[in-house]
């Protein structure tokens, strides 16, 4: 699992706690990389998660099965291209706060600032099917949900 722009590392930690291995955060800001490592250490996960100071545009996603993003809408069209070019079929992408502009979500969870969109990379996505006109909006999942954790507005980085 990778979080592209991992900020203070909370999503990577949550993913690790959900059983995703390995869990990696790529973050450009070195202070945030340090803060994420501190949080992991305090959580007793220092050796289990990985935060790297990397430009997300320069890392390969070819081996990734789960990708989390919470990035500015202006970069999401370009990110779609990268995800489409690099992710294997079957990969899942979860976008927090802002949806990917043209992909078809398989689920929309949460409300307002806490909303996340989940996408599965399959043949439909590879053919860049336009965004759905309707998609079920699901309640925020409880503990144990198979979907990636939502982004509480109070914690959004
Ligand atoms: C809105 S925050 C999201 C943080 C975290 N993923 C979360 O959900 O709490 C976006 C993060 O992306 C990082 N970022 C922006 N552009 C980046 C890039 N090109 N490479 C790596 N990180 C980047 C920013 O420094 C910021 O920490």
The C-alpha atoms of residue 80 and residue 76 are separated, in whole angstroms, by 6
The helix (run of H) or strand (run of E) holding residue 11 is helix 10-17
For the whole model, what pTM was predicted? 0.84
Nearest Cα residue to atom 15 of ligand 1: 5
Longest dimension (CA), the chain: 44
Residue that wins the pLDDT comparison between 134 and 33? 33
Pocket lining: 2 vs ligand 1, CB cutoff 6 Å: no
Which residues in 98-117 are b (16+ Cβ under 10 Å) and which e? bbbeebbbbbbbbeeebbbb
Averaged pLDDT of the chain: 86
Q: Are 11 and 68 in contact (CB under 8 A)?
A: yes
Pocket lining: 71 vs ligand 1, CB cutoff 6 Å: yes
Mean pLDDT computed over 54-59: 98
Pocket lining: 3 vs ligand 1, CB cutoff 6 Å: yes
CA angle 71, 104, 20 (to 5 degrees): 60
Give the pLDDT of residue 125. 53
The C-alpha atoms of residue 35 and residue 46 are separated, in whole angstroms, by 12
Q: Is the pLDDT of residue 153 over 70?
A: no
Task: Tell me how far the alpha carbon of residue 70 lies from the centroid of ligand 1, in angstroms.
Answer: 7
Q: Are 52 and 37 in contact (CB under 8 A)?
A: no
């Amino acid at each position: 699992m990778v979080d592209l722009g991992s900020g203070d590392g909370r999503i990577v930690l949550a993913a690790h706690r959900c059983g995703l291995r390995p869990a990696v955060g790529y973050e450009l800001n070195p202070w945030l990389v340090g803060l994420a490592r501190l949080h992991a250490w305090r959580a007793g996960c220092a050796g289990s998660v990985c935060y790297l100071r990397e430009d997300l545009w320069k890392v390969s996603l070819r081996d990734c099965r789960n990708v989390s993003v919470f990035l500015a809408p202006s970069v999401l069209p370009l990110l779609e291209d990268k995800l489409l070019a690099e992710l294997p079929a079957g990969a899942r992408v979860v976008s927090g706060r802002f949806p990917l502009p043209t992909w078809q979500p398989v689920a929309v969870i949460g409300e307002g600032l806490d909303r996340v969109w989940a996408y599965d990379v399959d043949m439909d996505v590879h053919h860049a099917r336009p965004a759905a006109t309707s998609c079920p909006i699901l309640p925020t999942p409880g503990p144990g949900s198979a979907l990636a954790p939502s982004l509480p507005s109070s914690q959004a980085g």
